Amino acid sequence: MCRHKDATEFTKKINEAVLGELPFDYTKDFEDAARGFVAPLTNGGRIDGPKGFPIYDGAALDFVGDDEPAPPTVNPSLWRNAQLIKKGGLFKVVDRLYQVRGQDLSNLTIIEGDTGLILMDPLVSPETARAALDLYFEHRPRKEVVAMIHSHSHIDHYGGVKGVIDEADVKAGKVRVIAPVGFLEAAVSENVMAGTAMSRRAMYHTGVLLKPGPTGHVGVGLGISASMGAATIIPPTEEITETGQKLEIDGLTFEFLLAPDTEAPAEMHWFVEELAALTAAENCCHTLHNTYTLRGAPTRDPQAWSQYLNDTIDRWGDRAEVMYGMHHWPVWGKDDVLRTLRNGRDAYRYINDQTLRLANHGYTPVEIGEMVEFPPELAKEWSLRGYYGTVNHNVKATYVKYLGWFDGNPANLHKLPPEEAARRYVEVMGGAEAAIAAGRKAFDEGEYRWAAEVLNHVVFADPSNEEARELQADTMEQMGYQSESGSWRGHYLTGAQELRQGTPSIPIPGTATPDTVRGMSLALLFNYFAMRIKGPEAAGKRITLNLVFTDSGEKAVLELRSGTLNHSLGRNVEGADATVTLARKDLDAVIIGETSLLEEAEKGVIKVEPDVAPLAEVVGLLDSFDIWFNVIEP
């Protein structure tokens, strides 16, 4: 049982001060979040998994009262965000355009074409996507889905696709699947190559392990939470390859604008001419977004982000009467649409330019993170508050994007690893007892950032030190209570929980889901194998394998050399140590974990000539990963 503490007097004062800093008398967001309401989520949006662990609970924030002030343990600005994002259900945006909000982290958008339905961004999991579409069908005429549009390559915008359309219908030409160029590779690679680490960090990032409540989870800024089903994917049948490209989709005219390397590597905005309806995908929401996400991902380009929002204004700003998002509620009216787009444009430009300006004065990323604040005209805009991204960590990411991780100080060029440095820090501080005393003094004085830094050394020097763990948990808890960012709160409170309870182990779907694996090209598949090679163990070994795929006719060569696994496509070589003949589907089954290469070879499903030993040796060098690695301790 997690032993939550109350907010300290320091935390109460910091949170109370927020009430005087921001325009809490502005209520239009609440009016817009309720506008067009048709019906609530079925069963509160809760969907249980096969073992009783909920795939998603849309009622998780019901404890957040509509008219109740923030408790001392929640930043009032984040509490306001929670009051807004908990408003789920089916909503009419304009004639022919509906959204289901609150059934997952993202929104399912539904446009009624002349003959059928055009769906957009089908949530994370098939179960939540199906529930969202079923809710729509309860209140609108039941029509066949004729098109699916993916705004970008993140899992909460495609993972539920097989819950609402059938891949057989796609292959038969009955359903169009439309996405920006590069979508499939971006979607698959991001969720596999670093998928285990990203998924573990996402547990902190989203606070998914925290119990909802005033001392726990209060949303993640973008939405209530992310669902936990096994994501699916269907390859696009059409790609948007250039800005200005138009498609006629079931009687409606869609014009697209490509926005790569913004919130996602492959992303696009579009405008529906007949509805005067615009979306900027996830590049313009009711929160400051991440130019670097704390779960881990390549750093995004805030300058490009700003420019694409400017291009959106130039292309459609004089025609857009509504802007609907893939998260949050829409913005109605030309003036408010333009204001929201301009604010977003200016915010990401400010982050980019001020980071570089100060870097050129010689300041480091940590220093710049403390120095950059939005000007008042941006800082007081609710749509730019840091519920998900923050100015602080976005600035640091921008520095890294341009200048890398090294801040130029030689003392930071080859630092000791955390555990070794921790032991020496604790020794210099006079031992664990003295270090804990220093941490307690900082805690008692409300200096939580310093307390966390001191106590982190004690925990990493000796993770069995219960006094240090508990005090560090208390410290991070207060930092979480003060956080305006849902993701920062999630990190701090999850860290506190794991310090008190240890690292959990809950059965959750892996990132290499069947659809994700099937969507991988051979090149990406072999890069995935290469990433798993245990380099030190493979050093000195030389093995060459020919691969022949019976179903696709493709050929490849895998070469193990110098601790690496390289591949060449489209050919075999003479003198290979073995030739492996197989179907791609059999290889997919191995990667998914349904069987093993050696088992399939023994059964004769996979043919290996002249000897299975070279294949067995390569397979034996593949590493496996446990998602439940330690984060808050060594």
**How does DSSP assign 477-537, residue by residue?**
HHHHHH-SSHHHHHHHHHHHHHHHH---------SS-HHHHHT--HHHHHHHHHHTB-HHH
Tens of pLDDT, residues 565-594: 999 999 999 999 999 999 999 888 887 778
Q: How many helices (H) and strands (E) does the chain have?
A: 23, 21
Q: What is the pLDDT of residue 479?
A: 98
Is the predicted pLDDT of residue 471 greater than 80, yes or no?
A: yes
Percent of the chain with pLDDT over 70: 99
Tens of pLDDT, residues 89-144: 999 999 999 999 999 999 999 999 999 999 999 999 999 999 999 999 999 999 99
Residue 62 amino acid letter: D
Q: In what order do the strands lie in the sheet with 238-240?
A: 37-39, 89-94, 97-101, 108-112, 117-120, 145-149, 176-180, 238-240
**CB burial of residue 623 (10 Å; 0-12, 13-18, 19+):** exposed
CB 215 within 8 A of CB 83: no
Q: What is the pLDDT of residue 53?
A: 77
Q: What is the pLDDT of residue 511?
A: 65
Q: What is the pLDDT of residue 516?
A: 80
pLDDT category at 373 given cuts 50, 70, 90 is very high
Is the predicted pLDDT of residue 301 greater than 80, yes or no?
A: yes
Q: Report the C-alpha gap between 92 and 612 in whole angstroms.
A: 61
Is the predicted pLDDT of residue 350 greater than 70, yes or no?
A: yes
Q: Evaluate if pTM is beyond 0.85.
A: yes
DSSP class of 439: H
Q: Report the C-alpha gap between 423 and 434 in whole angstroms.
A: 13
Is the predicted pLDDT of residue 147 greater than 70, yes or no?
A: yes
**What's the CA angle centered on 161, arms 155 and 167, to 5 degrees?**
130
CA–CA distance from 79 to each of 11, 84, 225 (Å)?
Answer: 15, 9, 15
Domain 25-395: give its CATH architecture: 4-Layer Sandwich (3.60)
Mean pLDDT, residues 222-239: 94
**What's the CA angle centered on 190, arms 341 and 554, to 5 degrees?**
130
Output 452 or 525, whichever has higher pLDDT.
452
Tens of pLDDT, residues 328-337: 999 999 999 9
pLDDT category at 631 given cuts 50, 70, 90 is very high
Q: What is the pLDDT of residue 252?
A: 98
Residue 87 amino acid letter: K
Is the predicted pLDDT of residue 612 greater than 80, yes or no?
A: yes
pLDDT category at 509 given cuts 50, 70, 90 is low
Mean pLDDT, residues 337-360: 97
- Which CATH code fits 412-501? 1.25.40.880
Task: CATH number for 521-620: choose from 3.30.300.30, 3.40.50.300, 3.20.190.10, 3.30.1050.10.
Answer: 3.30.1050.10
Is the predicted pLDDT of residue 2 greater than 60, yes or no?
A: no
Residues forming beta bridges with residue 258, ordered by sequence position: 268
Is the predicted pLDDT of residue 45 greater than 90, yes or no?
A: yes
Query: Would you tell me how many other CB atoms lie within 10 Å of the CB of residue 412?
Result: 11
- Non-local (6+) Cβ contacts of 30 within 8 A are 83, 84
Q: What is the pLDDT of residue 510?
A: 62
* Domain ranges across the chain: 25-395, 412-501, 521-620
Q: Are 412-501 and 521-620 the same fold in CATH?
A: no
Mean pLDDT, residues 349-359: 97
What the block records as the tokens of 92 is 């009419």
Residues forming beta bridges with residue 324, ordered by sequence position: none
CB 277 within 8 A of CB 271: yes
pLDDT category at 505 given cuts 50, 70, 90 is confident
- Tokens 């098109």 appear where? 147
Q: What is the pLDDT of residue 113?
A: 98
**What's the CA angle centered on 347, arms 342 and 348, to 5 degrees?**
105
What the block records as the tokens of 237 is 């049948």
- Non-local (6+) Cβ contacts of 601 within 8 A are 607, 608, 612, 615
Q: What is the pLDDT of residue 74?
A: 98
